[in-house]
Amino acid sequence: MRKLLLIPLAIFALIVGFALVSKAQNKTGGESASPAATLYADKCASCHGTSIDGGSAKSLASSDYEFAKTNTEIIQLVKDGNVEMGMPGFAATLTDAQILDIVEYAKSTPTMNKVTPATDAPRIADDALNFETWVSGLDTPWSVEFLGPDLALVTEVKGDLYQIKDGKKLDNPVENTPEVWASGQGGLLDVAIDPDFADNGWIYLGFSHPVKSGSDKAMTKIIRGKIIDDAWQNEQVLFEAKPEHYVKARTHFGNRIIFDEDGHLYFSIGDRGQMKQAQDITRPNGKIHRIMRDGSIPADNPFVDNPKAYASIFSYGNRNPQGLAYADGRIWATEHGPKGGDELNLIESGKNYGWPVISYGRNYSGTELTPYTHKPDMEQPVSQWTPSIAACGLDVVRGDLFKDWEGSLLAGALRYEELRLIKRDDGAYVDETILLKDRGRVRDVSMGPDGAIYVVMNSPGEILRITPKTKGGDTQE
């Protein structure tokens, strides 16, 4: 058979399912697809991508075809197929005119650019920063939050909440904290303080909660309370899943808690290992939620009028977000991918971030998870890391100590044992730099009231304090 210009690999492979999806979408009120678009969805999309961006075979949008130069050659290749490329022939199902219509449609449709992985990054000079151990002797710490210049809280996964005074961990944990399901990736997770903490004293906790004491079914729960006389008191439940939605799994609880200036509280819940449920708004997992600080639901939440949905859902299709930060009116999130495809996302109301339908990652076994990195109505990450860095912990640089980095993001990495500085231009990714490497698994990062950067190390169980050095090598404070 003649070799023709770029109709790459398995062109126009038959798929009835995409035609059905296309018809279903048209019934929801969208514009009707053109005949060429319907043919493309029916015959080509399974291999070449639903958005003409490529899938298991290359995109058809290019005008520089490899295996067919003329229309006559293109028609002949599509009719005959090519066994070596795994491409069936379509002589019995497509006319010459339909083939040319499909090609014209593909060439005239803009493609979606894939997000380049950002795993490789330069490392800042070793003499630019000063690293000191601020607190040691912690047992698998998860989060740190400052109550004031000389007082902080740190969570330990096993369920203890400790106060840190003047850089020293108190001997005893805060009493009366809630029972947690400390198994696998579950336990006492994030801690946050109310934006008006100085006036109201509210402290927020996220943790894996057993559906009943001793149960092996759990889900992420959000509460708030106050520390009075070194004890947890005045507890209020802000979010708790329905009992039937608790999951018997040890993975993907999320969880981070942040606030915006309008009184909203955002928190993340991972997919709990039930990846398809991330697309189901009747389930709480695989989502980022938004509530008011007292637990009530904002009237403008995207699914508040859907009686079957969790009204707290703000975004969905999120695999396991363990970094959340608020900056300049935007919600940023870092999210664990599977084998590759960790993501930096800009979270917006009602948006679908695609998991597990689209992903830049693969199954942990190395097999294909999904052929798609793009699909209509699913958001692309701002940046992605392949191979995975195990992104965890996120904050925004602010204050006078690191003026040159003001507004940049600080992202932790468990697997790569790194802290990364991500520069952004408004809502766009610019580049990133490695600030810390090979000191331990970075679980959380937080800007302190003194302007220093505090890094929670899961292992070896310590919190590092990072400050800039002057040219003479002294700490600049």
Distance (Å, rounded) from C-alpha 356 to C-alpha 335?
Answer: 13
Q: Which amino acid is at 363?
A: N
Helix (H, G, I), strand (E, B) or coil at 453: strand
Torsion sign over Cα 460, 462, 468, 474: negative
Residue 314 burial by Cβ neighbours in a 10 Å radius (0-12, 13-18, 19+): buried
Select which of 48, 252, 289, 374 is catalytic.
Answer: 252
Establish whether 289 is a catalytic residue. no
Length, in residues, of the chain: 477
22's enclosing H/E stretch is: helix 16-27
Residue 127 burial by Cβ neighbours in a 10 Å radius (0-12, 13-18, 19+): exposed
Q: Please name the residues in contact with 55: beta carbons below 8 A apart, sequence gap of 6 or more.
A: 45, 46, 47, 48, 49, 371, 372
Measure CA 118 to chain center. 15
Which token pair is 472? Answer: 């003479």
The residues with which 425 forms a beta bridge, in sequence order, are 428
Between β-strands 342-347 and 141-148, what pairing exists: parallel, antiparallel or unpaired?
A: unpaired
Distance (Å, rounded) from C-alpha 63 to C-alpha 74?
Answer: 12
Cβ proximity of 188 and 155 under 8 Å: yes
Q: Please name the residues in contact with 461: beta carbons below 8 A apart, sequence gap of 6 or more.
A: 136, 137, 138, 139, 140, 141
Residue 322 has what DSSP assignment?
E
Distance (Å, rounded) from C-alpha 311 to C-alpha 294?
Answer: 15
Q: Pick from 454, 343, 320: which is nearest to 389 by CA?
A: 343
Distance (Å, rounded) from C-alpha 462 to C-alpha 344?
Answer: 26
The CA-based angle 191-197-201, given to 5 degrees, is 85
Residues marked as catalytic: 252
